[in-house]
Amino acid sequence: MEGPSPAVRFPGTPFHVADHDLHVVHAPEERLAAMHALISAAQTKLRIFFYMFADDETGREILAELVAAAQRGVAVHLIIDSFGSGDISDAFFDPLVQAGGHYHCFSTRKGLGYFIRNHQKMLIADNAHALIGGFNITDQYFGRKGDESWEDLGLVVSGPEVEHLAGYFDELDRLSQGGKVRYLGLRSIIRSWRPGIGEVQWLLGGPTNRISPWALTLKRSLQVGKRFDIVSAYFSPSQTILRRIARVAKRNKGSRLIMAGKTDNGATIAAARVLYRYLIKRRTHIYEYQTRPLHMKLMVIDDAVYIGSANLDVRSLFINLEIMLRVKDHALATHMRGLIDTLVAQSEQQTTALLSRRDSWWSRFKGGLAYFLVNSVDYTVGRRIKFGLLRSR
């Protein structure tokens, strides 16, 4: 049985919601410090899943801390997605295994593994504390790549629901041993998931023959919501979600969407822009963030905050494995809207006049192709196609 962790001081802005202590970690140094704090505080077990883990300064730094934790007797279980972390070798993790830790890939890169990725990010210490968000373990997510660093967000969660998340990780661990993940196993986990009914709920997304808990909760929230403020690195939702976003915006003129104005994948921006005119006509305020590439996933609908790994695209809603935390709290929602205000101040508002200046048969063709690639084929294909969108201001 896992013992309790000692009290840990985390960076970031603190909140207390329904017996849970939350710390919003926005700045890169805050997120990195939170990772160090969780790993250092662990006494019995560390559970870590990341879509991307790189052999760079950040990856080596975190690996060294995991090795040190294993050497002091902590059970360290690390899983990475084989597609997202396809450039790293198994040999990189040998020091962890030699220290007594456990490491494996979630899936193979053949067959099912190519189409269904585990896009989740989580670090869990002793069933007591968890760190989630949109960021991966590479230099780009921690301000170490200059202007090419990603804008992202994390949340430290301490409280009873962390044990619920730890149980889910253990199911993933069991299911993915040997790298032979089966669709039926994934579907069973997602279909049987119960988020709970309190103010703090874990929501799973992934492949299933019925709507996932994450997509269903989002759909219902938009159905009754009065206002949204959404930050999404990739935006190409299903038609049902898109229509509900438009209805909320039409009811409330203050609803905002903040999307990427810079990215490493031009197809995702082009796919999002296909939808701008429809949404602007329905009073949605749309902004493209300009300071650096945007990777944040944050949604505030009335007093409910959603934070985690999922974008608002078809892949995140229905295909990839995703983890989102829903927290219903007015103070937290107000804080997150203030954070979004700072993003808006660094963004370019999208208007019908701007869309008209961009409009041409070639831009419409590129947008349609990008939308098809992102929603029907694979958004990573867009990285190999030069859309030239950032020159079309």
Task: Place 387 in a pLDDT band, splitting at 50, 70 and 90.
Answer: very low
Task: Place 224 in a pLDDT band, splitting at 50, 70 and 90.
Answer: very high
What pLDDT is stored for residue 277 in this prediction? 94
Over residues 302-329, mean pLDDT: 94
The better pLDDT of the pair 327, 252 is held by 327
Task: Place 246 in a pLDDT band, splitting at 50, 70 and 90.
Answer: very high
Task: Place 358 in a pLDDT band, splitting at 50, 70 and 90.
Answer: confident
Q: Worst-scoring range by mean pLDDT, 79-83, 294-298, 385-389?
A: 385-389
What pLDDT is stored for residue 378 in this prediction? 56
Contact between 212 and 119 (Cβ < 8 Å) = no
Q: Enter the tokens of residue 152.
A: 């992202």
Closest CA relative to residue 37, chosen from 102, 96, 123, 133: 123
What pLDDT is stored for residue 390 in this prediction? 38
Is residue 111 predicted with pLDDT exceeding 80? no
Coil, helix or strand for 123? strand
DSSP state of 375: I
Lookup result for tokens 């990573």: 380
Instruction: Give CA separation, 218 vs 55, 205, 215, 229, 239, in Å.
Output: 35, 11, 5, 13, 13
Coil, helix or strand for 364? helix
Model pTM score: 0.92
Q: In what order do the strands lie in the sheet with 322-328?
A: 200-205, 322-328, 304-308, 297-301, 228-232, 256-260, 285-289, 347-350
Is residue 4 predicted with pLDDT exceeding 60? no
Coil, helix or strand for 174? helix
Instruction: Give CA separation, 207 vs 173, 215, 256, 348, in Å.
Output: 18, 11, 29, 35
What pLDDT is stored for residue 147 in this prediction? 87
| Rounded distance between C-alpha atoms, residue 10 and residue 32, angstroms | 11
Lookup result for tokens 């149980």: 167
Contact between 215 and 306 (Cβ < 8 Å) = no
Is residue 321 predicted with pLDDT exceeding 60? yes
What pLDDT is stored for residue 389 in this prediction? 44
List beta partners, residue 50: 80, 121
Over residues 111-118, mean pLDDT: 72
Task: Place 196 in a pLDDT band, splitting at 50, 70 and 90.
Answer: confident
pLDDT digits (tens, 9 = 90+) for 120-150: 999 999 999 999 999 999 999 999 999 899 9
| Rounded distance between C-alpha atoms, residue 52 and residue 59, angstroms | 10
What's the chain's average pLDDT?
A: 89
The better pLDDT of the pair 114, 69 is held by 69
CB-count exposure of residue 250 (10 Å: 0-12, 13-18, 19+): middle
| Rounded distance between C-alpha atoms, residue 366 and residue 369, angstroms | 5
| Rounded distance between C-alpha atoms, residue 73 and residue 319, angstroms | 37
| Rounded distance between C-alpha atoms, residue 338 and residue 367, angstroms | 32
Looking from the CA of 316 toward its CB, the CA atoms found within 13 Å total 22
Task: Place 1 in a pLDDT band, splitting at 50, 70 and 90.
Answer: very low
Strands (DSSP E) found in 187-245 = 200-205, 228-232, 235-236
Contact between 298 and 306 (Cβ < 8 Å) = yes
Q: Enter the tokens of residue 236.
A: 């190409």
Task: For residue 133, give the amino acid letter.
Answer: G
Is residue 307 predicted with pLDDT exceeding 90? yes
| Rounded distance between C-alpha atoms, residue 67 and residue 46, angstroms | 11
DSSP calls for 80-94: E-TTTTTTS-GGGGH
Task: For residue 367, give the amino acid letter.
Answer: G
pLDDT digits (tens, 9 = 90+) for 15-49: 999 999 999 999 999 999 999 999 999 999 999 99
Which domains does the chain show, CATH number per domain?
Answer: 13-181 (3.30.870.10), 197-355 (3.30.870.10)
Handedness of CA 166, 171, 176, 177 (dihedral sign): positive
